[in-house]
Amino acid sequence: MHEGSKKAVIAALLGNAAIALFKFSAAILSGSSSMLAEAYHSVSDSFNQVLLLYGIKRSKRPPDRLHPFGHGKEQFFWSFVVAIILFGIAGVLSVGEGLHKLRHPEPLALLWLNYAAIAVAFFFESLALRIAVKSIKREMRREQHRTFIEAVRLSKNPITMTVLFEDSLALVGLCIAGAGISVAHISGKPFFDAWASILIGVLLMVFALFLAAETKALLVGEAVTQRNRARILNCLESFPEVEKVISLKTMHLGPEEVLVAVEIDYRDDLNLECLESLNDKIEEMIREVVPDAKVYLEPERM
């Protein structure tokens, strides 16, 4: 998953960096506020990808004395930073630019440059989105999700999810900008372009809140999906030596790394050697469900 996520982030970074300058040039030369909003969007996306790549790099550090479970949650933290700071700033700037142009409207010029910027941006954003979709589909097959929407909703990988929504939102924003510019030109009323800028900014801020809520749940400590929890319970209950599963607690330490803590009521006639062998088999079966699980088994407390 690390490599798939990293590839999606790098593709998005290269695409956004390539079109950010083009959008700024088109916005400044044409006077379009919606194109300037899209330029803010591309710049924020570029910074986003830099932070996401930094989060991936930090998350790969090995466990140490202060972080015995590793640094997997670095990805969750930097995704949260992306949502709160960069998307928030881009959204506020876009809304502010739209409000400014509503108060001080200016006629648009060099429309062809705006359309060229939209076409180029649409091409690069589509390529980056395709890579993110492929990454989600791989996760969908691995986790046996029934639909693509379910895979996105239940994904524990904020990096790929961020890139997926970034690129989807970028394509929507380009359509809004194109519509605003066209209507403003045809009608001769530049406030349509200003309202397009405001709409793009609002969408950015809504997405920021959504992404913040999703990553906050992972950052605080989110359990595995109900399907994987049921599969782990089935593994435990398949052993006749297990009388009862007292408690099963799970928490994602990273997109793939999971802490699994189980309290078990073992059969009374088990000796120490049988118990050790049984625990090894239980851990092996749990890791068939969650390959990177850190498993802790505890007998029932008397």
Instruction: Report DSSP letters for the chain, one per residue.
Output: -HHHHHHHHHHHHHHHHHHHHHHHHHHHHHT-HHHHHHHHHHHHHHHHHHHHHHHHHHHTSPP-SS-TT-STTHHHHHHHHIIIIIIHHHHHHHHHHHHHHHHS------HHHHHHHHHHHHHHHHHHHHHHHHHHHHHHHHHT-SSHHHHHHH---HHHHHHHHHHHHHHHHHHHHHHHHHHHHHHT-THHHHHHHHHHHHHHHHHHHHHHHHHHHHHH-PPPPHHHHHHHHHHHHT-TTEEEEEEEEEEESSSS-EEEEEEEEE-TT--HHHHHHHHHHHHHHHHHHSTTEEEEEEEPP-
pLDDT value for 265: 92
pLDDT value for 2: 53
Which region among 8-17, 48-57, 124-133, 216-225 has the lowest average model confidence (pLDDT)? 8-17
pLDDT value for 196: 92
Could you tell me which residue, 49 or 70, shows the higher pLDDT? 70
pLDDT value for 260: 94
pTM: 0.77
Q: How confident is the model at residue 156 (pLDDT cuts 50, 70, 90)?
A: confident
Identify the CATH number of the domain defined by range 2-220. Answer: 1.20.1510.10
Whether residue 1 is predicted with pLDDT greater than 60 in this model: the reply is: no
The mean pLDDT of the chain is: 85
Q: What is the mean pLDDT of residues 196-207?
A: 89
Q: How confident is the model at residue 63 (pLDDT cuts 50, 70, 90)?
A: confident
pLDDT value for 302: 58
Residue matched to tokens 């959504």: 210
Spatial separation of the C-alpha atoms in residues 206 and 200, rounded to whole Å: 10
pLDDT value for 212: 84
Whether residue 289 is predicted with pLDDT greater than 70 in this model: the reply is: yes
All structural domains of the chain with their residue ranges:
2-220, 226-299
Q: What is the mean pLDDT of residues 164-186?
A: 88
Per residue in 80-108, pLDDT tens?
888 777 677 788 888 988 898 888 888 88
Whether residue 168 is predicted with pLDDT greater than 70 in this model: the reply is: yes
Identify the CATH number of the domain defined by range 226-299. Answer: 3.30.70.1350
Per residue in 13-50, pLDDT tens?
776 777 788 888 888 888 888 888 888 888 887 787 78
Per residue in 241-280, pLDDT tens?
999 999 999 999 888 889 999 999 998 888 888 889 999 9
